[in-house]
Amino acid sequence: MVGGRALVTGATGGLGRILTAILLAQGREVIATGRDPVRGDALCRQGARFVASDLAGEGAAPLLASLLPEVETVFHLAALSSPWGRRADFVATNLTMTQRLLAAASAAGCKRFLFASTPSIYTRAAHQLDITEASQIPDRLVNAYAQTKLAAELVVRVAAAPGFATVALRPRAVIGPHDTRAIA
């Protein structure tokens, strides 16, 4: 098997569906999680092992532990992505779920943890050009989505340890055949 077993959370979303297909095409074994069983069935037909789940729930810890044996890389794409909503929902889905998954992945001996964050953390009420990773993050983030994604980024970065590499990426303008926001 090329590259080892991978876990993709949020695999039924636009980015997750593309990433799962790429990993499978590389010959990797993929465990895919998501909340949409119809899209999950499509992932199964492509060769993934799909587990319908809501990893933000209180009972998710045993499920996480059962998914991670022999997983080398976790691609954590699952999130609550919306400009508004209940703060508690954003905390549960974007921060608490990430903390639980990080702890479970580390305990299971995973080698790599990739977290999909957001460039929304840079949003401010002013024109901005040439934003880079070194750009200053506003003191007051625009909404609970940006706040919880930044908090989760920090948790991901400090979880790195010898034998457990972590990275947080801020993908921008992800457009593809499964996009449900920019293209209807």
Residues 6+ apart with CB under 8 A from 164: 105, 106, 110, 111, 112, 113
Residues 6+ apart with CB under 8 A from 79: 10, 93, 94, 116, 149
For residues 143 and 84, the answer to whether their CB atoms sit within 8 Å is: yes
Known catalytic residues are 145
Handedness of CA 78, 84, 86, 88 (dihedral sign): positive
Residues 6+ apart with CB under 8 A from 139: none
